Chain A
Amino acid sequence: MENTPLLELIGIVKRFNKVSVAEGLAFSVADGEAVGIVGPNGAGKTSLFGIISGELHEDAGEVRLGGELLNRRDSADRCKMGIGRTHQVPRPFQQMTVFENVLVAAHQGAGLKGRDATDLASSVLSDTGLYDVANRPAGRLGLLHRKRLELARALATRPRILLLDEVAGGLTDPEVDELIKIVLKARKSGVAVIWIEHAVRALVETVDRLICIAGGRIIGDGKPAQVLAMAEVKELFLGTEPGEESALRMDHYASHGHLGDGEGRQVSP
């Protein structure tokens, strides 16, 4: 079974009334691989996570983890099987402490008990920079810590694949740098990652592969630099309408000159 991908999506279709968020989506992620997902607002990125994690039901298609069909499994089962996800809008357990938030994930998601669970929770807190606020109620955290807690909770379920939904959204550049370090550390431990992010810089520094989705279809899939250089992708992001949110981010990004392909060539608008 060497060739079985870790996560496999086959012909996923999902429509809300007449709006299509997945129109035959198909891709797979290998063990330990990191994939970034970009695309305009409403392209179906978060819906895709919902379908993988079991919060949304696809109209057609298959989701497999390690070859096993997941379609009939609920999100709790999928988490226990190794799919850890964060939500774009953090969902902290407000009245529980940060430590308890992470501990319950170690109990339920990773299936640990007693000392094993508390040790995992405390080491995840250290890794995610939340150790000092361990005993603070989650409801009193600021945005940065809420985002990190969302990530810490997902990590404490001991995932085989981590789904990150805009964990860098709303953070400052230095905060994004810290976040990148956390994700790279998780990658080093062998966790596969799918990361949805508007801040392309974070993706380019962490992922092996970039997928661009628009209108529920994949329009680019490959090495980040290649995908970002594709005419269809550029058109989407840089578009003809100035002032669009994603276009602004891309401009900002390009003007800082971080973006380049393997040969060091700058990709410019």
Chain B
Amino acid sequence: MNGKLDFVSRSQYSGYYLGILGTVVVVGLVALPYVVAQGFTNTLVNLFILLILANMWNVLAGYGGLVSVGQQAFIGIGAYTVLLLAQHGIEPFLAIPVAVVVGAVFAYPISWFLFRLTGGYFAIATWVVAVAAGITITGIPSLGGGTGASLPGLQSMSSVLLGAFTYWASLAVVLASLVSVYLLLRSRLGLALTAVRDNEIGARSIGVKVTRAKRIVYLISAAGCAGAGALIAISQLNVQAANVFNVQWTAYMIFAVLIGGIGSIEGPIIGSVVFIVLQQSLARFNAWYLVIVGAVAVIIAIWARGGIWGVWADRSSTKLFPVGYFLRKSSPEGDQLVTQTNK
């Protein structure tokens, strides 16, 4: 029972096999354009974009408690940053990191305005900001106005090469977003955010600067959504305000997070895969696809409030991304977890 003998591990099980699994998956994904048809990698680009968005919305709403329906503001900002830079001769792929930074830079002043509001008022205000940003950009003729503009700078690439590069860029951004969120949640700030997720007043009273933590999450989320926006611009080779500032992006990301399970890293990954699989396999049913997607959402909302990952997490403590802390103690039989007795 002596505190000095205790130590702490970050995973209940060894992270060794998880590391190997992760490496295999990443290497496999990187090699994919060499082995599959381009149609498949194009679908994966859509999956990656949705996954980035879902991952960001999950951090924002699932941990920060900031239910935004205006993340398309940053998708648009990211897409138009790539367009603007490409018009000035900068390679679109190199413009992706710039778009990420620009997203966060715009988010900072916006957060000072939005954070004066809470709950439903906050949600509506985020939407208003997105609409206002869209209208502002349509008023700029050099950016194509309302009809949009095609993205210059990539015409010289062969379609196969462009497809592969777009895929790799999307893979890089999606991995960066997952690793960032994972490292964030493993950090001291991440544990504080998890406390905010579970009980905001409780978190405040043990010293968590809740507003500052939320602002950091808001900036991260904006940066990620801007990265996704940059990828949308590149994958569509065209930027149009009505598309990139469309609220449907937010509908998709919310769907993916709620289906997969809010408040975990794993949830949005599962949700995004489910959404893309439904979209692909139901495409030939036209409008019925939306009905079925809606039915899935209703079923999950009623019978599995924690999403698909939530159902798993209720039954098992195994996690794909170990962000927890486990108190272990040294004993003659070797190190072991401090037991969960039923006292």
Please report A residues at the B interface, Cβ cutoff 8 Å.
53, 55, 74-77, 79-80, 84-85, 87, 91-97, 99-101, 103-105, 107-111, 113, 118-119, 122-123, 125-126, 131-136, 153-154, 156-157
Contact = CB atoms under 8 A, between A and B. Distances in A.
Contacts of A92: 198-199, 202
A93 B202 contact: yes
B207 A118 contact: no
Contacts of A109: 206-207
B192 A132 contact: no
23 contacts: A55-B201, A75-B205, A76-B208, A76-B210, A87-B202, A93-B195, A93-B197, A95-B198, A96-B195, A100-B324, A101-B195, A104-B191, A104-B195, A104-B208, A107-B191, A107-B192, A108-B206, A110-B207, A119-B3, A132-B340, A132-B341, A133-B343, A134-B327
B204 A55 contact: yes
A110 B199 CA distance: 19
B205 A97 contact: no
B107 to A, nearest CB: 22
Q: Which one of B4, B197, B198 has the greatest number of beta carbons of chain A within 10 Å?
A: B198
B113 interface: no
B325 A103 contact: yes
Contacts of B6: 118-119, 122
Interface residues of B, number: 36
A150 B202 CA distance: 9
Nearest to B199: A91
B205 A100 contact: no
Contacts of A118: 6-8, 325, 327
B263 interface: yes
A97 B8 contact: no
Contact of B192 (A85, A91, A104): A104
Given A126-B1, A132-B338, A135-B326, 11 more contacts: A76-B209, A79-B206, A94-B199, A95-B194, A100-B191, A100-B324, A104-B203, A104-B206, A110-B207, A113-B188, A126-B3
Nearest to B328: A135
B158 interface: no
B337 interface: yes
Q: Which one of A101, A154, A157 has the greatest number of beta carbons of chain B within 10 Å?
A: A101
A135 B337 contact: yes
B286 interface: no
A246 B241 CA distance: 66
B206 A105 contact: yes
B236 interface: no
Given A91-B199, A109-B206, A109-B207, A136 B4 contact: no
Q: Which one of B1, B199, B207 has the greatest number of beta carbons of chain A within 10 Å?
A: B207
B339 interface: yes
Contact of B206 (A119, A123, A153): A153
B206 A157 contact: yes
B340 A133 contact: yes
Taking chain B's interface residues, is the majority helix, strand, or loop, or is none over half, making it mixed?
A: mixed
Nearest to A79: B207
Contacts, number: 130
A95 B199 CA distance: 10
A96 B3 contact: no
B194 A93 contact: yes
Interface of B: 1-4, 6-8, 188, 191-192, 194-195, 197-199, 201-210, 263, 324-327, 337-341, 343
B207 A80 contact: yes
Nearest to B341: A132
A202 B341 CA distance: 28
Nearest to B313: A95
B195 A79 contact: no
A145 to B, nearest CB: 8
Given A104-B191, A132-B338, A97 B208 contact: no
A131 B338 contact: yes
B206 A154 contact: yes
Contacts of A157: 206-207
Contacts of A94: 198-199
A85 B205 contact: yes
Contact of B3 (A76, A95, A113, A123): A123
Nearest to B212: A76
B326 A99 contact: yes
Contacts of B210: 76
Q: Which one of B1, B194, B202, B203 has the greatest number of beta carbons of chain A within 10 Å?
A: B202
A52 to B, nearest CB: 11
A75 B204 contact: yes
Contacts of B198: 92-96
List the 8 closest pairs (A to B, CB-CB), nearest first.
A91-B202, A109-B207, A93-B198, A123-B3, A108-B207, A79-B207, A105-B206, A134-B327
A118 B326 CA distance: 10
A261 B292 CA distance: 74
A87 B202 CA distance: 8
A132 B343 contact: yes
B327 A122 contact: yes
Contact of B188 (A55, A107, A131): A107
Nearest to A156: B206
A3 B201 CA distance: 34
B307 to A, nearest CB: 13
Contacts of B206: 79, 84, 104-105, 108-109, 153-154, 156-157
Contacts of A95: 194, 197-198, 263
